[in-house]
Amino acid sequence: MKRSSRNLDPGPSSGKLKFSFFPGCSLKASGHENTLSLLKFCQSMDIDLVELEDWNCCGSSSAHSIDKRSAKYLPMRNLSLAPRGVPLLIACPSCLLRLKSSFLSIKADPALRRDYEDFFEKPFDDELEIIHFFEIFNRVDLKDHMEILAGTLKGIRVAPYYGCMLFMPPDLRYEKSHTGIIEKSLKSLGADIVSYGYANRCCGTYLSVAKPDIARKVVNEIIFKAMEAGAECLVTACSMCHLNLEIRCTLDNPIPVLHFSELLSMALGAEDHKKWFPRHIVDPVPLLKKRGLLA
């Protein structure tokens, strides 16, 4: 799926959007369907994504919990690999937090900058733009693509679920907030947005492994509240949240959980969903058929 910039680069004058893409471990493995549908979406929107060459794990919660050294250098190495002049696009909220806060601290701290430059033997790129997948919606006029698509999602009742990482981290308090992007874009495609109080509630992250009872409780709470508000499905912005919501839910007949990128790609007419939906634990196909989104 990786598109080569060498063959397809239309040059700077074309106005075509081009990003380096940092998938991260969750999207690369357990959330593979998220990556596939995201690449499909970008392809449909004529956006060029080039996977960051030889990227590594951002360190995630485990590094900053128990190992300061790897928590510091793992995100830095990814920054050092990013090509100049191309924005770095990240779809995982947790990876975004790690890479961006690393970038902001180096920018603000001359000693840390020296440390970075000594360690990676290259100058630090002050100008590197690190953006979340949602930022695409500020740069592309979806209307260009959506006018013909209005109503495509046919009133499917969606509970947006952002998770905690996109909203609250103090390290990113001066950065742009993307609140409302899921609501706005899916509504313009014809979905009904359900409002409930748990859109930024934490999914439990790694407690899903080490403390499954606690994770089960928060996951059930989130899905129950969405169902109570009348949602037919949840739409997630985070691949790890998606996994937790699926594997830790013990409610009877829970609603399916879709990746934001899956629903977007469906609206744009992507037909390779056969590769995505079998990877879901709660099968979204009956709902999508009922709503006429799948034949």
Partner 1 sequence: MILLDDGCPDFAGEMGEKTGIDFNRCLQCKTCANGCPFIDGMDQAPNRIIRMIQFGMAEEVLKTSTIWVCVGCNTCSSACPMAIDIPALMDGLRHAALDRGVEIPEPDILNFHQEVLNTVKKYGRTHKLEIMMRYKLKKMDLFSDMGVGLKMLKKRKLDLTPSRVKDMKAIEKIFQEP
Q: Give the binding site for partner 1 (CB under 8 A).
A: 25, 28-30, 32, 54-57, 59-70, 73-74, 77, 119, 164-165, 167-170, 201-202, 204-207, 209-212, 214, 217-218, 243, 247-248, 278-281
Other beta carbons within 10 angstroms of residue 241's beta carbon come to 30
**Which strands sit side by side in the sheet containing 157-161, from one edge to the other?**
192-193, 157-161, 233-236, 257-259
Beta pairing class for 157-161 and 233-236: parallel
How far is residue 283's CA from residue 242's CA, in Å, rounded to a whole number?
A: 13
Nearer to partner 1, 24 or 160 (CB): 24
Q: Minimum Å distance from CB 154 to partner 1? A: 27
Q: Nearest distance from residue 79's CB to partner 1, in Å? A: 13
Nearer to partner 1, 6 or 69 (CB): 69
Task: Give whichever of 3 and 248 is closer to partner 1, judged by the CB atom.
Answer: 248
> Which residues touch 13 (CB under 8 Å, ≥6 apart)?
none
Q: List the one residue out of 61, 102, 71, 65 whose CA is nearest residue 203.
A: 61
Nearer to partner 1, 47 or 52 (CB): 52
DSSP conformational letter for 248: S
CB of 8 to partner 1, least distance (A): 23
Cβ at position 43, least distance to partner 1 in Å: 22
In angstroms, what CA-CA distances link 56 with 70, 74, 140, 154, 180? 11, 7, 29, 40, 30
Quote the CA–CA distance of 60 and 24 in Å, as a whole number: 10
- For partner 1, the closer of residues 5 and 30 by Cβ is 30
Minimum distance of partner 1 from residue 170's CB (angstroms): 5
Q: How far is the CB of 41 from partner 1 (least distance, A)?
A: 21
**Which lies closer to partner 1 via its Cβ, residue 25 or residue 50?**
25
Tell me what percent of the chain is helix, strand and coil, each rounded to the nearest 5. 50, 10, 40
Task: For the chain, give the longest Cα–Cα distance.
Answer: 59
The minimum distance between CB 22 and partner 1, in angstroms, equals 12
Between 189 and 218, name the residue whose CB sits nearer to partner 1: 218
Give the SS3 label for residue 229. coil
